[in-house]
Amino acid sequence: MKDETELKDLTIHALKELGEIAEVLVKKNRPDHWKNELGDLCGLCISPMLALAGMSFEDACKLGLERKYNKMHTTLIRKYQRKPMVVEVEQYVEYGKLVKGMCNSQSCFLDGNDKPHVHTIHANQIVNLEVGDFIIPEMDGKHYYPCKPDVFALTYEPI
């Protein structure tokens, strides 16, 4: 009786995990032995589980690949809403006029970047400015990024 209950529990677990088992099968040294991320399951154990599920090994593999594909796409593509945040921005309206957030460092000028620019939070990346760009502070308050007027109008509204 204990063996039947154990086999039933194992079968239920195996049926739930069948897709995962099939998707990550890795053949080891022995031809009928397979391994998944939950541990080793040999071909002799998988065969009765597949029989109880009424599924061929090939169908189990297809199911596993389908579940893997669905998992990848459901975990990568999600909808997010931007957190509301009030920012003080300045628009770069005249070439040569210094505005808040714009780099005024002599070291940048000596390195050959004589164009108006800002330093972003992304590895201190330099992004050149064009007249009309809005200069928006990054979350850290030390770095800035430019935003084109049309994108700014779609993203922000005055308060």
pLDDT tens sequence across 15-49: 656 555 544 444 444 444 444 444 445 555 566 66
Return the axis-axis angle of helices 43-53 and 57-76, rounded to nearest 10°.
Answer: 80
CA nearest to 97, candidates 51, 58, 131, 46? 131
**Which residues are CB-contacts of 60 (< 8 A; sequence separation ≥ 6)?**
18, 19, 21, 22, 50, 53
The DSSP 8-state label assigned to residue 83 in this structure reads P
pLDDT in tens, the chain (159 residues): 566 676 666 666 666 565 555 444 444 444 444 444 444 455 555 666 677 677 777 777 777 777 777 776 666 667 778 788 888 999 999 988 889 999 988 888 888 888 999 999 998 899 999 999 999 999 888 999 999 999 999 989 888
Report the predicted TM-score, pTM, of the whole model to 2 decimal places: 0.51
pLDDT given at position 90: 93
Q: Which residue's structure tokens are 């169908």? A: 59
CA 28, 32, 33, 38 torsion-angle sign: positive
- Residue 18 in contact with residue 54, Cβ under 8 Å? no
pLDDT given at position 49: 67
The DSSP 8-state label assigned to residue 132 in this structure reads T
Q: Where are the domains of the chain?
A: 2-76, 90-155
- Residue 64 in contact with residue 23, Cβ under 8 Å? yes
Q: How far apart are the first and last CA of the chain?
A: 72
pLDDT given at position 27: 44
